[in-house]
Amino acid sequence: MRHFRHLTPERLGALFHRPPAEFTADAPVGTLAVALGATLYSPATREELADDVRKQAARGVVSMVLCLEDSIADADVVRAEENLVRQLGALAEAGGGEELPLLFVRVRAAEQITGLVRRLGPAVRLLSGFVLPKFTEDHSVAFLEALTEAEVSCGRRLFAMPVLESPQLLHRETRPEALAGIARTLEKYRERILALRLGVTDFCSAYGLRRTPDMTAYDVQIVASVIGDVVNVLGRADGTGFTVTGPVWEYFRPQERMFKPQLRQSPFRSGRAEEIRTALIEHDMDGLLREIALDRANGLLGKTCIHPSHVAPVHALSVVSHEEFCDATDVLRPERGGGGVLRSAYTNKMNEVKPHRAWAERTLLRGEVFGVAREGVSFVELLAAGVK
């Protein structure tokens, strides 16, 4: 697999100072966690699920979740399981060396993990793991033990992606203990945890809220406070933390706008750029772009997506800019091991070696997976390249 793999070598060379590197499902957990990018969710009831997976892979999707939980009705669970087993079996039988995304199944109950692995048989080789709902210390152990059992039975590494969405985590009086319990559980099963996902829709639901397309998750203060505390406890850069992914963006159809568009015109004044800007505004994508930027600023990486049109913006804004690459490279030079301060190569900021080291390491890992843009190449060109 490789991000932007649909581009020709000539186009890659024109856009990237360092192109995205290839990786496989067997890559180290740190690489895979960063490589998830835009994780596209799809209900497991879809009759053309196998074709959907192939189609999205061709469009640049690198990770997908086939959902047996909130995206389907309670009455459809049995049918969804049967369809999932049948569709993954068809994908496995087709073979042919085609590149498929990293595939995960979002389950409702722990017993679904072992049951599905057993029913999938050889097709389990297509699975990278399971998404675990409403993750708390009390609720999660059964899921993780089932994952361990399933891994042993199929002889394949299977990851967990817990979803943090429980009321105990949201409510201020129970949040500290809930976070402490989640941290204890995650540490016990650290080798099986790929990334943590945030159930912001569930957080809003607890208070009867829903953000509009003009507002990001960070504009809803109750939600923003939870994100901050989750990153504080579970996303630290001292070796104890995990990758925390960005919350879902719910909108993909044009709606009446209440506020002025948030996208500035200046980055779009060339080539197809103004056309792209207009399309983004019409489809409420300017709010998505702002939220992706705020995700990054708040320590989140990648994003839960429920529509294919969200994938290209997430990936375009995951590419490391040439300026970021220069700063990170300067900070990590061996001769700078003793610390100190230096002026950036772009002469517009201070790079302080010790405080910026963790940021620089994360930035270069992201650059390895998503690539480093050429000098002067903006996210607009990368976005245009990613839209198929």
Please check if 202 is assigned to a binding site: yes
Amino acid making up residue 202: D
d(CA 386, CA 388): 6
State the average pLDDT over residues 342-346: 86
d(CA 324, CA 322): 6
From 370, 247, 377, 235, select the one nearest 310 (Cα to Cα). Answer: 247
The pLDDT-based confidence of 256 (bands split at 50, 70, 90) is: very low
Which pLDDT score is estimated for 97? Answer: 59
Whether the pLDDT of residue 259 is over 50: the answer is: no
Give the H/E segment covering residue 341.
strand 341-343
Summarised one tens digit per residue, pLDDT across range 141-159 is 999 999 999 999 999 999 9
> All domains of the chain, ordered by start, with CATH?
1-21+320-388 (no CATH), 28-318 (3.20.20.60)
Which pLDDT score is estimated for 213? Answer: 86
Q: What is the mean pLDDT of the chain?
A: 91
Percent of the chain topping pLDDT 70: 90
**What number of other Cβ atoms are within 10 A of residue 170's Cβ?**
22
d(CA 366, CA 372): 9
64-78, 218-232, 271-285, 293-307: the lowest-pLDDT one? 271-285
The pLDDT-based confidence of 262 (bands split at 50, 70, 90) is: low
Whether the pLDDT of residue 91 is over 70: the answer is: yes
* CA distance readout (Å), 243 to 259, 302, 386: 33, 9, 24
